[in-house]
């Protein structure tokens, strides 16, 4: 039986520093999700975690943004293999 590969997702706060992930889902209330999307974190967007253990510094669309732990926990990403 041939199964499709399983997409592993984790919270952006769990992505190791220096790694790239693709946004797969944003969880939370509608206002939070809309605000994060306005900041550039749309589904399928590539994001690089620059550093941090909270606040987290990430790069999205050539812009560096600091996120709280709560915000980074609500952005689910698929880690990309280099």
What is the rounded distance in angstroms from the CA atom of residue 70 to the CA atom of residue 7? 23
The domain limits of the chain are 10-79
Model-wide pTM > 0.85: yes
Mean predicted confidence (pLDDT) in 35-63 = 93
Query: Contact at 8 Å (CB) between 6 and 32?
Result: no
User: What percent of the chain lies above the pLDDT cut of 90?
Assistant: 83
pLDDT at 5: 56
pLDDT at 4: 44
φ, ψ of residue 71 in degrees (nearest 5) = -70, -45
Residue 6 binned pLDDT confidence (cut-offs 50, 70, 90): low
Count of CB atoms situated within 10 Å of the CB of 38: 9
Pick the CATH number of 10-79 from 3.40.50.970, 2.40.37.20, 2.30.30.90, 1.10.10.10: 2.30.30.90
Centroid of chain to Cα 50: 12
Task: Give me the residues paired with residue 59 across strands.
Answer: 48, 64
């Amino acid at each position: 039986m041939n199964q499709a590969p399983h997409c592993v997702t984790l919270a952006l706060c769990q992505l190791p520093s220096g790694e790239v992930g693709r946004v797969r889902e944003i969880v939370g209330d509608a206002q939070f999700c809309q605000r994060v999307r306005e900041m550039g974190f749309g589904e399928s967007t590539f994001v690089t975690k620059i550093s941090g253990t909270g606040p987290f510094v990430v790069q999205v669309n050539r812009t560096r943004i600091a996120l709280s732990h709560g915000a980074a926990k609500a952005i689910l990403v698929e880690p990309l293999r280099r």
